[in-house]
Amino acid sequence: MKILAAELAASVADPAGAPAQGLPEIAFLGRSNVGKSSLLNRLMARRQLARTSQTPGKTRLLHFYRVDRGDRGSCLLVDLPGYGWARVSRRERGRWRRMVEGYLQGRRPLRAVVLLHDLRRDPGPDEVDLLAWLDQRQIPALVALTKLDKLKAGPRARRVAALGGCLPVQADWIVPTSARTGAGVERLWELLDRLL
């Protein structure tokens, strides 16, 4: 995918303040530290547009990035705050839920959600519940398996096969990716392009 321009359009805490530009939108969701901001930078072909960090829970606002793909049109990519980081209060968790669910439920331009999942982990109730929640609301969901580069070819293929068997998503909507090497990024764009 050719990216002509990418920029931060807005960062908001309240979904009601999300940009209204009539552009179709894809949201990125996943456990804190799973690599959302890193994969977004790859998709946008920008080094550090989305802030990444080794400290989980860095992204606590909804960040909207406007991406111009030339004759394929423009869209917004949304970096949502990660869930499941350690040492957060119940109050903080409630705040996360209200913010993210409020956004996902009320957002008309939303075309799909990409759920990111670390290739090395087994999916937990967070991932399974989220996929069911999206399915109930008829929001299309893809899964991007992240940090592919962390495993060697053999174990990597075994993990991809195992996760394909336990995630409730059709197999060709599960895309193994690496923000480090760029693996899977073109494939992810191809799928997103169909939904945009």
Q: List residues near Mg ion by CB under 5 A.
A: 36-37, 59
Q: How far is the CB of 30 from Mg ion (least distance, A)?
A: 9
The contact set with ligand GTP (CB under 6 A) reads 30, 32-38, 52-54, 56-59, 82, 146-147, 149-150, 178-180
The entry of ligand GTP, Mg ion, none near residue 184 (CB within 5 to 8 angstroms by kind) is none
Which residue's CB is nearer to ligand GTP, number 20 or number 86?
86
Both tokens of 40, joined, read 């977004």
Which residue's CB is nearer to ligand GTP, number 59 or number 188?
59
The entry of Mg ion, ligand GTP, none near residue 114 (CB within 5 to 8 angstroms by kind) is none
Q: How far is the CB of 184 from ligand GTP (least distance, A)?
A: 9
Phi (first) and psi of residue 143, to 5 degrees: -115, 125
Both tokens of 187, joined, read 């494939």
Which residue's CB is nearer to ligand GTP, number 49 or number 134?
49
Distance CA 38, CA 14 (A): 23
Q: How far is the CB of 93 from ligand GTP (least distance, A)?
A: 14
**Which residue has the closest beta carbon to ligand GTP?**
82
Q: How far is the CB of 14 from ligand GTP (least distance, A)?
A: 19
Which residue's CB is nearer to ligand GTP, number 15 or number 72?
15
Q: How far is the CB of 71 from ligand GTP (least distance, A)?
A: 29
Distance CA 82, CA 32 (A): 4
Phi (first) and psi of residue 183, to 5 degrees: -55, 135
Which residue's CB is nearer to ligand GTP, number 72 or number 121?
121
